[in-house]
Amino acid sequence: MRIIGLDIHRVFAEAVVLEDGTYRRLGRIGMTRDHLEAFAATLHPTDHVVVEATGNATAVLEILAAKVEHVAVANPVQVHLIARAKTKTDKIDARVLARLYATGFLPEVWIPDEMTLARRRQVTRRNQLVKSRVRLKSIVQSILHTHLVPRCPHTDLFGTKGRTWLRAQVLPEDERAAIERHLEDYDRQTAAQKDVERDIAAVALEDVDVKRLMTIPGIDMVVAVGVMAAIGRIDRFASPEKLVAYIGLNPSVRQSGDGPAHCGATIRMRLRIASLELFPDGLILPH
């Protein structure tokens, strides 16, 4: 069996093959579909390929999987720790990936199905728009603060009343023009966010698991879709405990000798971190 390790970079991948205990460099492969398809044509049906979980790993997997026996995707954080401990270097190269796979120590990750990947992309698009809109509000607030303008008396600075108040403030002409541009950008991104949410809803409301999650108080469509995008198919977990551990909500336990066990407050911290990463609106999953 040959093991091919791919050290993926932005524009190229460094490839090595491990065969009969010997490493051989295969060279650099351009990170384009044409180059990867040409490389895939040179592989054997019994080959095993190892790559890191990077932003374009899914596309690489799609091209190579049909040509080889197995493609393993490694957890880059765990591989980094193992590689640094073994080789005393921060660089994770193709040889390290191949060696870890050959010895059975490669920390593989679950590869989401296409529906889950599409859902994650949509949730990410919405989150990016939410963050961008918040940033525009912060920029305008900074302009007002610079010119000693008092806090807006209305709840939403970019709402109808807030904009009327905003346009009545005494500001230099260049700052006033900048605020108008930010308002236009905000409106465009608001419209784009609504379009993305409609696309999410069109697919999500046909999902039985999403609708079941939405029956929980405080869980709306966006939160439910975010949960399903994070965990994928429910039936891949053998028990509720495994699901809790996967998403990182299980509490830490501290115990020494025969003394009592103490559950740490990590569960609340992990819950908050998970919710902020998945849901930048600040929505928190229920306990």
pLDDT in tens, 41-87: 999 999 999 998 888 888 899 999 999 999 999 988 788 777 665 54
pLDDT in tens, 121-155: 999 999 999 999 999 999 999 999 999 999 999 99
Between the CA of residue 140 and those of 123, 135, 136, 183, what are the distances in Å?
26, 9, 6, 9
- Smallest Cα–Cα separation from 59: which of 6, 96, 122? 6
Buried b (16+ CB within 10 A) or exposed e, 275-284: beebbeeeee
* Rounded Cα–Cα distance for residues 130 and 260 (Å): 45
User: What's the CATH superfamily of 3-103?
Assistant: ATPase, nucleotide binding domain (3.30.420.40)
Task: Please state, for a pLDDT cut of 70, what percent of the chain lies above it.
Answer: 83
Q: Tokens 């999410």 map to which residue?
A: 200
Burial class (CB in 10 A: 0-12, 13-18, 19+), 54: middle
Mean pLDDT (whole number) for 23-38 = 93
Domain boundaries, the chain: 3-103, 115-236
| DSSP-derived pairing of the beta strands 22-30 and 12-19 | antiparallel
